[in-house]
Structure formats: structure tokens, C-alpha cells
Chains A and B, each alone.
Chain A
Amino acid sequence: SQQGEEDPQALSIQEGENATMNCSYKTSINNLQWYRQNSGRGLVHLILIRSNEREKHSGRLRVTLDTSKKSSSLLITASRAADTASYFCATGRAGGTSYGKLTFGQGTILTVHP
């Protein structure tokens, strides 16, 4: 079953604009991760935020986490055509046999027009 739901399903912007994608989940988590997938390729890890963190930055990426609302957002600033890809949030639970296991959302398809 899919843990996360992402919004929007598709996003189309111009180069230089910011892109914001949202992820909601249902159960308590240990961490939330964002991955990127270019067409026909494997997934690439972008950023991880832990349940006790509220915001994290990595280059042009900014991730926020609100555990009270069970939601996260990924902001890509000053987007480039090369950012065109599908973006997935994935939630990781704590403890026991759940450690390391990720549950992925449906993804947001981002298209950045030059």
C-alpha cells in the first residue's frame, strides 16, 4: 500500500521559477526522504529529514516536515531544465523489522521548460 500521497501529480514551470511539491502520509515515521527519478532510470536520493527536524536544506533544495499534520514539502529554487523528472517522497518507520523499510508515494512529475 502507498503511504504517501503527493500533490500535485504534475507540475509544469519555466526555468528559473521555484517548484513546490507536497507529500502527506498516514502513520508515524522515523524519517522522510525525497528521491528523484529521471525517465527510464533508477531513483536518486535527494535529501532525508528526521522526525525531530522541521527544515533541512541541500543546495537548491529545501524540505520541511510537519509531523502534527503528517506532511512534508520539497522546494526546488531557481529550477533548471535538468530538474525535469519525477519526484517521490518515501517514509521510513522506526524499529524492529521496519528499520530501513521505505514506503513511497505516487510521485510528482515536474517539467521545467527552458
Chain B
Amino acid sequence: EAGVAQSPRYKIIEKRQSVAFWCNPISGHATLYWYQQILGQGPKLLIQFQNNGVVDDSQLPKDRFSAERLKGVDSTLKIQPAKLEDSAVYLCASSTFLVNQETQYFGPGTRLLVL
């Protein structure tokens, strides 16, 4: 089966610009996650979707970050305006959300550099 797809793989922008990331989860996976991974740290959950509804966005900086998952499949994560501290890898993951199926499947990530 095809894995989680993300694009772009790399993005360089200047501070105060906006940027958007795209994720296509594994077919049939109801749950989709966006993580931020700063260099040298573990991934930090930004937002969790169940189908097209938000389950948890408690760690999403809502003044500048937004995410949507229209139709419960693809998702986009947007940053507007970007700050230097947003430089990180943004990982998308998906899972089935079935009982005893807690494994998450990760995409390759988008590496963002804010100058």
C-alpha cells in the first residue's frame, strides 16, 4: 500500500511570509496528525483530526498556524506569518483509529527553514 505522502519536501522562506504544507494519508486511515519536530528534539503533536473533525489542537499556535482536513482525506497545514522559531521538520502521520491499532504511519516530512 502507498505510504503517507507530503509535499513539498523542503521549503525556505523569509520571516513574516506564509507557507503551506500538504499531506495525503494512507487510504482508509481515519485519523491524521501533524507534528512539529525541532532539530534535536522529538516530534510534538500540533493537531489531530478524526475524519474531518479536530480532536486535539491544544498545542497548535492558533495565532499563526491553521490546519484543515476537508472531506476527511487530504490535509493542509499553514503558517502565516512565519517566525524564525518555526524552522523545523513538519511531519504528517495517519492511523486507522481502530481498537488496538494505535500504530502511526509517518510521511517523510517537510523541512522548513525560516530566514
Contacts and interface: CB of A to CB of B under 8 A. Distances in A.
A106 B107 CA distance: 19
Contacts of B40: 106
A71 B106 CA distance: 25
A44 B56 CA distance: 23
Contacts of B35: 104
B102 A48 contact: yes
Report, as a range, how many residues of chain B touch the other chain: 20 to 34
Contacts of B109: 41-42
Interface of B: 4, 31, 35, 40-45, 48, 55-56, 91, 93, 95, 97, 102-109, 111
Contacts of A99: 97, 102
A43 interface: yes
Contacts of B108: 41-42
Nearest to A2: B42
Given A33-B103, A106-B41, A100 B4 contact: no
B106 A43 contact: yes
Given A42-B108, A97-B55, A100-B48, A105 B102 contact: no
A36 B95 CA distance: 17
Report, as a range, how many residues of chain A touch the other chain: 20 to 34
A43 B27 CA distance: 18
A108 to B, nearest CB: 10
A31 B4 contact: no
B1 to A, nearest CB: 14
A99 B30 CA distance: 13
Given A42-B107, A100-B31, 6 more contacts: A4-B42, A42-B109, A43-B91, A45-B104, A88-B42, A103-B45
B4 A102 contact: no
A100 B97 contact: yes
Interface string A72-113: 000000000000000010101000010111111111000000
